[in-house]
Structure 1
């Protein structure tokens, strides 16, 4: 009997302990309820305690922490630097959003319902490389007028942009050749006056590449659909002008003759003209300064061609062009229709370019892959430019330049490093907009920007600005770092000065 009483007492004690633990847990849970799911209470203050990250560009993921922020996105507004951010979600104690572009001023402002709170710190905005429009105007069907002379904001349609080249003596003047089936003049862009002009080329159907003699005269490759007696490279001698358009009155003189040249260049070390013959894949060199302007070699079929032959490329009957390295170490040969890039090194002893080899892509293998060398894939590469890489220079590497080029059918700008690594610099962004990778979208170079068959490309080393002939959009686009408004720059300078004096 006594054992039964003891066993019953133990059971009652155990139940009391369980009840006590349940009560404690229930009270604790009630006191520490999850406020992250609490709706906004207009009778309680909204608080912003912190945000992360503290610095960055536009379209960056930002989390704002605080209290009474609610869970209803429709009553929440976030501004950074006075610009509306995209609110993705809210959880009562945090707001998840995307920072706006160009929010230089940096104030973080949160509005929930009728309450507005400003964070104690500012978001430090880092200017980004962005794509914008320079000029070109068409309707939604790609239709527009051709304007021979006009301001950038009313210059009409930019047709078939193919090759850019800065005037070496007037860095604000940018020349553009245009291809196509009809006669195409040169376009002249005055970047200082923001005007576009036209330079007509009498008796020339079209011009492709633009290159310069060591004295600053202009040479154009002029592929003609006629016999071998026709000109395939012409020179325009420089005149003088007050507006920087030194070739306004210049006529052309033939330098070489033939019917299938679509790419030429001047080799800086020797001043010789290197030009191609599309039908055979041959590249010839001609010293017109020594041999004169009137003793024009004929390609094909002319005399002494074996002496002029520099090298041949693997493919015949395809368009290709050549771009010399700024230090003259080598030349890149862009095989536009074969989807790869060759390199020909300069031989200091013979003073000639040697047989080229592939540095990226593969003949006939059109695709899109950011890889190394022959494993990379490109699709109809267009014009390319060498760009100084300050990191290479600081590391004292042998080659300080990356090669940027348009990848026309991939609708982007790619980078080729001296080591053969291919990556994507700009374009193919706005992934959520559509499954296509082409379009007309401005903004941050990779996340937002889109092109439509970019071909021509130029780079201004002084302003660090790229210019792109966006053929499918009939526009000239540009890529540069964002610039803070002048009034804001003045405020920031004053703020920095005040901090230094404290």
Structure 2
């Protein structure tokens, strides 16, 4: 049984090995001379800040400040950088060691002693603070009993987020982020315009019980959700119209055990899957009955393009913004395939391996089959400015439910870890609830849903075992 998660929200996590090292480094006594030689702070003399190194950095940067009359008590001296208090690790008369705090934007270095309200020294040079990507929490909480339930309301009060999720921004309203939950109570709306979380539609409204994904039609006028159930004549996908507020679900297709459905961003057809035999289906959604009426395609008028590997393959389809290819994210078998688009035939072709190895779970960065994944879940394509002018300008960021992280997949098939699995000094577990630096501090617990806002360069992560919606972005000023 897994021990209870370690939970922290501060970015002042002290790594005990590092602490011991620097306390030793700043000590001014030795085995041969046990008498401390560094004098204490002398109130009759001024404190002087003469220099510091390095000159630039972000939150968590190790900073050494040089000067005079710092004393020898790290509990007495207080350091502020840019108006934010730093953690002092050690002090030795003419130097002190600290960690740069978050949001130290203006970089002014100030030295205080004890409870005195005014600084006793101010550096003549400012530290050049660099904002960096950090993990924070947008909404949600988990109490000790985990019985907080589902609560609609402002981000500060909302609760829920407790099942594996799939997320998608409304293409015509970037303030609206829709969330579907597997085994959850329905579809939720995260409204950034008024900072609220509300239930948009109940599961019973669409006769759903396992909503696995959601997407939008090419014109943005329809929302499509996939539904996982075991009746071959049961609902596999449903469609709802913007004209009716996305609250008028109609059956789009019927088939067994659908894990996801995605719309081609250029030609508009829909691709969805079947878990039972690894089926990969194509359906011309824009010519379906719910859109054009009785003359349209019916719920069984889809075609099987190919089968993925074997029976019992849980996967979803993530289509590149260009439409040139799609990744088939195989959740339960720990790998990702690529299928290329045939523009003449307007359909995807037989897929091939991009990263990971079928049936082999693990955590290892690498290229192609050398990389190890564990339950990849949802991904987003993000434009990389370093690729400008190349054939493919996008990286693929994806969550891994049981590696408790976010990974990056490059167009060449290289996998690296982007965020999570930090704070290794706390305990050896990769999961938990920790905010801060993407890799040094941050932890997730079974992240699933992932969305990206291009305008603000921010990721939103459904951290379902932590019952929270997390955010990855540059520190806010």
- TM above 0.5, one fold? yes
Cα drift, residue 56 of structure 1: 1.4
The residue number in structure 2 matching 1:85 is 86
In 1: Cα distance, 2:398 partner to 2:285 partner: 30
The residue number in structure 2 matching 1:340 is 335
Larger RCO: Structure 1 or Structure 2 (Cα < 8 Å, ≥ 6 residues apart)? Answer: 2
- The gaps in structure 2 that reach 5 residues or longer are 1-35, 291-295
> Which structure carries more helix by proportion?
1
The residue number in structure 1 matching 2:21 is none
Cα drift, residue 62 of structure 1: 0.4
- The gaps in structure 1 that reach 5 residues or longer are 1-35, 241-245, 299-303, 485-502
- Secondary structure of the 1:186 match is strand
In 2: Cα distance, 1:41 partner to 1:222 partner: 68
| Residue 213 of structure 1, aligned match among 217, 230, 238 | 217
Cα drift, residue 370 of structure 1: 1.3
In 2: Cα distance, 1:223 partner to 1:332 partner: 20
Residues 38, 68 of structure 1: 8 Å contact kept: no
Residues 211, 264 of structure 1: 8 Å contact kept: yes
Cα drift, residue 84 of structure 1: 1.6
Cα drift, residue 168 of structure 1: 1.0
Alignment of 1:67-82 (within 5 A): 67-82=68-83
| Residue 324 of structure 1, aligned match among 319, 322, 338 | 319
- What do you get for the CA RMSD once the two structures are aligned? 1.9
The residue number in structure 1 matching 2:176 is 173
In 2: Cα distance, 1:315 partner to 1:468 partner: 30
TM-score by length of 1: 0.82
In 2: Cα distance, 1:415 partner to 1:55 partner: 27
Residues 266, 322 of structure 2: 8 Å contact kept: no
Cα drift, residue 109 of structure 1: 1.3
Cα drift, residue 37 of structure 1: 5.2
The residue number in structure 1 matching 2:10 is none
Residues 89, 96 of structure 1: 8 Å contact kept: yes
| Residue 164 of structure 1, aligned match among 148, 164, 167 | 167
Alignment of 1:444-483 (within 5 A): 444-483=437-476
Give the total of aligned pairs.
429
Residues 218, 266 of structure 2: 8 Å contact kept: no
The residue number in structure 1 matching 2:278 is 281
The residue number in structure 2 matching 1:411 is 404
Instruction: After superposition, give the CA deviation of every residue in 1:122-151 in whole Å (9 maximum; x if it has no partner).
Output: 11211121111111132023221222x322
- Secondary structure of the 1:73 match is coil
In 2: Cα distance, 1:218 partner to 1:175 partner: 10
Alignment of 1:85-104 (within 5 A): 85-104=86-105
Instruction: After superposition, give the CA deviation of every residue in 1:293-330 in whole Å (9 maximum; x if it has no partner).
Output: 564354xxxxx87xx22122123213110111011111
The residue number in structure 2 matching 1:382 is 377
Rg comparison, structure with higher value: 1
Cα drift, residue 428 of structure 1: 1.2
- Secondary structure of the 1:289 match is helix
Say yes or no: does 1:232 pair with 2:236: yes
Instruction: After superposition, give the CA deviation of every residue in 1:68-123 in whole Å (9 maximum; x if it has no partner).
Output: 32333232221111222111222322111111111113211123577821111111
Report the more deviating stretch, 472-481 or 430-439: 430-439
Alignment of 1:301-312 (within 5 A): 308-312=303-307
The residue number in structure 2 matching 1:28 is none
Alignment of 1:237-316 (within 5 A): 237-239=241-243, 246-247=245-246, 250-290=247-287, 292-293=289-290, 295-298=297-300, 308-316=303-311
